[in-house]
Amino acid sequence: MANDSTTAAAPARRAARPSRARQRLLSLAGFLVTLAITFLGLLAITFFIGRIVPIDPVLAVVGDRAPVAVYERVRQEMGLDQPLITQFVSYVRDVATFNFGTSVSTGKPVIEDLARVFPATLEMATLGIMLGVLIGVPLGVFAAARRGSWLDQGIRVIGLLGYSVPAFWLGLVGLAIFYAKLKWVGGPGRVDIFYDGMVSPVTGLILVDSIIAGEWEIFRNAVWHLILPASCLGFFSLAYIARMTRSFMLDQLSQEYVTTARVKGVPERLVIWRHAFRPIRVPLITVIGLSYAGLLEGSVMIETIFSWPGIGNYLTVALLNADMSAVLGSTLVIGAVFIGINKISDVLYRVLDPRAR
């Protein structure tokens, strides 16, 4: 009888395998369709923003003193005389081939400019979010565990400062104190002028490229310059992450299963980190992901103050020069970063929370 039941169960298991495989394929297809629709919506938003803003891209190329004939010729060459839907289709086709146009400011293809400036922002924002997570998460946990204590009050003040202090003020004060006065960190720029251009760009990340080249003196100089701007960005993410972690932890510490664990005599350290902290990892991923994306696109003031050659500084110069190709290309990259980080967060949901699978 046991052999008969086992034999009968085998076809059922084999039938279940294609079903699971089909579900995975459908899930992957749905993921790709959602990604494509989201990206198409991003393309539509950036395109129509470029047409709505009161900036004439033709004048940015020919100047305001160009003859009418030259103006019309350039306008036709740029395709601006075509119907709007035709322009949008051409825009989507160009973006699909990574053709974002030519920058008026630099005279180079926008894709080359973005490949040059984005790694600088990525390097600074990555170090900033690492500081924010490594410091902000423990601070939020300790504040919730000691609610109402002086530690909790101090962390709440830090969170309030992170929301209220302007980025330009924090950057200027940091330069005045830690660079000009104490000489603890490097000044504006990624490296000292003496080291500029001495490392061949491989990844665009100067820390990585200096390691590849074996230039340890340049590596130390780059770290010396990176500490202050990354710390300024990290402070804002730290405040946000600490505040949200505290809120999530307070909700979990009030649950009945935490009270039960304490009644059973489970050590408080295990109650906090094993029982209360584990359930908040999933919502915390969203907080960290959005904070990271915000650092990648919201570092305009910090990059301007520290003369950091990143995408924020590049976007600011493009706006001042009415360089719409560079503006739209930068906006598109920033939006794609948001989409990518959100999708990565969705994948991590499934890894950490079996209920989402």
Q: Assess whether pLDDT exceeds 90 at residue 163.
A: no
Residue range 110-356, CATH number: 1.10.3720.10
Query: Token pair 């251009």 is at which residue?
Result: 197
**pLDDT of 245:** 92
Residue 278 has pLDDT above 80, yes or no: yes
Q: Find where tokens 């009968």 sit.
A: 8
d(CA 273, CA 279): 10
First-to-last C-alpha distance (Å) of the chain: 36
Least confident segment among 176-185, 198-207, 339-348 = 339-348
Lowest model confidence (mean pLDDT) among 6-15, 110-119, 189-198, 203-212: 6-15
Residue 37's pLDDT band (boundaries 50, 70, 90)? confident
Q: What does the alpha-carbon distance between residue 137 and residue 239 come to, in Å, rounded to a whole number?
A: 10
Q: Give tens-digit pLDDT for 94-117.
A: 888 888 888 888 888 899 999 989
The pTM (predicted TM-score) of the whole model is 0.80
Contacts of 313 (CB under 8 A, 6+ apart): 117, 300, 303, 304, 307
Q: Which of 63, 84, 111 is nearest to 314 (CA)?
A: 111
What is the pLDDT, as a whole number, of residue 2?
A: 46
pLDDT in tens, 123-143: 999 999 999 999 999 999 999
Tell me: pLDDT of 200 over 50: yes
pLDDT at 138: 92
**Contact partners, residue 212, CB within 8 Å, separation at least 6:** 202, 203
Grade residue 254 by pLDDT with cuts at 50, 70 and 90. Answer: confident
Please answer whether residues 86 and 175 qualify as being in contact, where contact means their C-beta atoms are separated by less than 8 angstroms: no
Tell me what percent of the residues of the chain surpass a pLDDT of 70. 92
Q: What is the mean pLDDT of the chain?
A: 82
Contact 243, 159 (CB under 8 A): yes
Asked if pLDDT for residue 75 goes beyond 60, the answer is yes
Delimit the domains of the chain by residue range.
1-54, 56-97, 110-356
Q: What confidence category does residue 355 fall into, taking pLDDT thresholds of 50, 70 and 90?
A: low
